[in-house]
């Protein structure tokens, strides 16, 4: 049996070895790859077989039976689902833009600092919250914002005279009009330091000659930031926004540890909605929960494709 001839990128014609022979010749690499391949199959692809339950009637204590698109009809006609979907988009998008803006501002501020020791110290302090788990962060802010007499913020308001002796303590995390603002502030506090790493790396790559030319032209520090620093950061900012837009639907832990039943209208997101429908009802409907999860995955896939297209347009290469 003659070997198939193929043309290499250098224009040289070579004989193409059979697949079995190529696998045997590279058997060492395939053996090393085998555990990873099995790991991915078992933990990533095997669970995907559960997608079929989105089209079945499957409640706790019963056997699954075919139901077609019943769960999707129920989902699209449920106000709680659309509320969670809207909250997911609002919370994720606003959080993304606020955190990115804060990261840009902080990175520029750090870049302008002349004292190296102060700069490194401040960087370390800003980075530390990122390494704290959301459970710890929620515990800290729950204590600070507690409506009890031991709540630090309520105590400060009383000491300042803003709250009188007869006024009730404010339940910050249980007030719908305040919850989103507090959520954004906590996320900015936790994630801004980590986000500055990318922007500081970009700033360190700006040619000093541009700043020297600006000095010769008599530019002030603010003018150098406006006409040299920000334009250099523009492409990185766009890239960060595009890459993170693909994660808009992946919002769970930071909401789950901070929300409660009093603020569901402004805080309940798709992932927490699925969690409640699965684990907090007397007889969970696994088919309906799977249908909502499948819809979330489909929207996330569309967002990834859109971001990939936008990345090709702006960066010249995609994200997948």
Contacts of 81 (CB under 8 A, 6+ apart): 75, 273, 292
266, HSE (Cβ side, Cα atoms, 13 Å): 15
- Residue 13 to residues 21, 26, 81, 256, Cα–Cα distance (Å): 19, 22, 59, 60
Q: Residue 317: left (phi > 0), alpha (psi -120 to 50), or beta?
A: beta
| Structure token pair of residue 26 | 């590279």
Is residue 45's pLDDT more than 60? yes
Name the pLDDT band for 318 (thresholds 50, 70, 90). low
CATH architecture of 70-315: Orthogonal Bundle (1.10)
Is residue 12's pLDDT more than 80? no
pLDDT tens, position by position, 179-225:
999 999 999 999 998 889 888 888 888 888 888 888 888 888 888 88
Specify the pLDDT at position 225: 84
Model confidence, pTM = 0.83
Q: How far apart are CA 9 and CA 39, in angstroms?
A: 34
The residue written with tokens 């009730």 in the block is: 168
Phi, psi values for residue 288, rounded to 5°: -65, -45
| Structure token pair of residue 243 | 């890459």
| Structure token pair of residue 80 | 């709680």
pLDDT tens, position by position, 152-178:
898 888 888 888 777 788 899 999 999
Name the pLDDT band for 1 (thresholds 50, 70, 90). very low
Q: Domain boundaries in the chain?
A: 70-315
pLDDT tens, position by position, 203-214:
888 888 888 888
DSSP 24: H
Q: How far apart are CA 115 and CA 292, in angstroms?
A: 52
């Amino acid at each position: 049996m003659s070997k198939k001839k193929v043309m290499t990128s250098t224009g040289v014609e070579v004989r193409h070895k059979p697949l079995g022979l190529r696998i045997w010749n590279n058997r060492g690499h395939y053996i090393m790859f085998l555990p990873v391949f099995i790991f991915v199959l078992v933990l990533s692809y095997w669970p995907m077989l559960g997608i079929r339950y989105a089209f079945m009637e499957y409640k706790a204590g019963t056997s699954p039976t075919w139901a077609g698109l019943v769960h999707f009809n129920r989902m699209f006609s449920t106000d709680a689902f659309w509320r969670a979907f809207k909250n997911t988009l609002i919370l994720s998008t606003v959080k993304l833009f606020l955190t990115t803006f804060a990261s840009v501002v902080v990175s520029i501020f750090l870049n302008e600092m002349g004292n190296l020791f102060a700069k490194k110290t401040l960087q370390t302090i800003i980075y530390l919250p990122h390494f704290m788990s959301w459970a710890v962060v929620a515990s800290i802010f729950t204590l600070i914002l507690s409506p009890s007499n031991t709540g630090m913020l309520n105590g400060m308001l009383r000491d300042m005279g803003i709250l009188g002796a007869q006024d009730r303590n404010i339940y910050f995390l249980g007030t719908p009009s305040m919850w989103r603002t507090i959520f954004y502030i906590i996320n900015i506090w936790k994630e801004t330091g980590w986000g500055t790493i990318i922007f500081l790396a970009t700033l360190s790559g700006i040619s000093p000659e541009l700043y020297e030319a600006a000095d010769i032209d008599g530019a002030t520090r603010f003018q150098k930031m406006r006409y040299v620093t920000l334009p250099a950061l523009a492409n990185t900012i766009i890239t960060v926004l595009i890459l993170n837009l693909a994660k808009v639907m992946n919002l769970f832990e930071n909401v789950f540890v901070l929300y409660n039943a009093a603020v569901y209208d402004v805080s309940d997101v798709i992932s927490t909605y699925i969690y409640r429908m699965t684990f907090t009802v007397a007889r969970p409907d696994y088919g309906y929960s799977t249908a909502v999860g499948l819809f979330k995955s489909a929207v996330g896939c569309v967002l990834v494709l859109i971001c990939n297209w936008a990345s090709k347009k702006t960066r010249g290469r995609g994200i997948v």
